[in-house]
Amino acid sequence: MAKIDDVARLAKVSKGTVSNVFSQKRRTSKEVTERVLSVSRQLNYVPNHIARSLVTKKTMAIGLTIPHGNFFFSAFHNQFINGVILEASYYGYRVLLDMIPAQKVRTPFLSSYPIDGAVVMSPTTEDERINLMHMENIPFVTVGRVMNENIDSSPSVDNDNQTIIYNICKYLIDKGHQNMMFLNANELMTVAIDRNEGFIRAMEDHHIQVEEHMIQHKPAILSTEYMDYGYDETIQILGKLNKKVTAIIADDDRTAFSVMNAIKDLDLRVPEDVSIFVICGDLSMMVQSNPSLTSMDLQPSELGAQSVRLLMHKLGVLQGDFPEKIIVESKIVERNSCTELVPPHSI
């Protein structure tokens, strides 16, 4: 591999000049520029990224910290990641996928993170990844609210989760539903906490008693029940316990599908007997399922892009003031899985 000295020698300039031709940090005459570029092509020279990083103290990479454990990407994560990569590449940044829990790093591999900053997805309460970032002084942005004891505030991008659930409930209540089941995300995730508050507030505002069966939480990602979350809950609550649930709010498309299967197995129909509302689902899956599923568009790709932009501000790549919190818009997309509730006596 050719080095900067080789180019400098052949182009009869100093290495400082060669450096400048590539970094464009100060002007070089057209003549010299072309000579250097020509020699570089000839020697197949490209600046060494590592050496550059050592002195500039910039790696031009950001970390994307995804929930660890035996994790699984959903369509939501997908789209989100797409947004992150696209936006990062716009600023010349690469994306390092990160999932190694702090404790598990073996000593021989221990070293600083070769990233300039990080985007932390789906924080939990007392999220250890966030503590790690904080300790190592790595600038970070979260997608979702931070709830760590020692960390007062940090830039974040989020949907307005409380309002989202509130509006979903209102949407269903307006259709006559009074008895709903909310299949929330895992209880450790801060988003689940916010959503619960929204749910409870909606019920209170509409004078509906919140019963225990109404709020469920996704099992831990490691558990065997994780994959078909929604099935057992539906069978149990609607079947065995015979709670007269008429509407189910599902965390994601996978959950919704599980629910639909359970409903079929209970000899019930969607939406005639039970309405289903999906919070974050893959657009194409929503449209193509049968019946098509009414859902919330959370704009995951926009969440990703905005989180990167926020991080770029923190890193000084983007100038000017920037907000500490960015709320990404979301809106209900009506399809065919939610229907007006027909009171029993009117049949």
Partner DNA sequence: TTGTATGCGTTATCAA
Partner DNA sequence: TTGATAACGCATACAA
State the residues that interact with a second copy by CB under 8 A.
1, 22-24, 44, 46-54, 59-61, 64, 71-73, 77-78, 81-82, 85, 89, 92, 94-100, 106-114, 135-137, 227-228, 254, 257-258, 260-261, 264, 284-285, 287-290
- Spatial CA neighbour of 313 closest among 104, 123, 139: 139
Minimal distance in Å, beta carbon 135 to DNA?
A: 16
Angle made by CA atoms 262, 266, 271, in degrees to the nearest 5: 75
**66 or 203: whose CB is closer to a second copy?**
66
**52 or 243: whose CB is closer to a second copy?**
52
- Spatial CA neighbour of 233 closest among 244, 218, 223: 218
Residue 161 to residues 200, 240, 264, 283, Cα–Cα distance (Å): 13, 31, 30, 19
Binding partner of residue 241 among a second copy, DNA, none, CB cut-off 5 to 8 Å per kind: none
13 binds DNA (CB under 7 A): yes
Given 25, 41, 207, 345, the residue binding DNA (CB under 7 A): 25
**46 or 227: whose CB is closer to DNA?**
46
Minimal distance in Å, beta carbon 112 to DNA?
A: 7
Residue 16 to residues 28, 109, 323, Cα–Cα distance (Å): 11, 34, 39
88 contacts: CB under 8 Å, gap ≥ 6: 62, 94, 95, 308
Longest CA span, the chain? 94
Footprint of DNA on residues 54-113 (CB under 7 A)? 54-56
By CB under 7 A, the count of residues binding DNA is 31
Query: Which part of the chain contacts DNA (CB under 7 A), choosing from 28-36, 89-97, 225-233, 301-309?
Result: 28-36
CA atoms of 161 and 23, how far apart (whole Å):
44
Binding partner of residue 27 among a second copy, DNA, none, CB cut-off 5 to 8 Å per kind: DNA
Binding partner of residue 307 among DNA, a second copy, none, CB cut-off 5 to 8 Å per kind: none
28 binds DNA (CB under 7 A): yes
**56 or 89: whose CB is closer to DNA?**
56
Q: Where are the beta strands (DSSP E) in the chain?
A: 61-65, 94-98, 117-121, 140-143, 156-158, 180-184, 215-217, 247-252, 275-280, 294-297, 325-327, 331-333
Residue 332 to residues 39, 46, 175, Cα–Cα distance (Å): 58, 50, 14
- Residues at the interface with DNA (CB under 7 A): 1, 3-5, 12-20, 22-23, 25-29, 31-32, 45-48, 51-52, 54-56
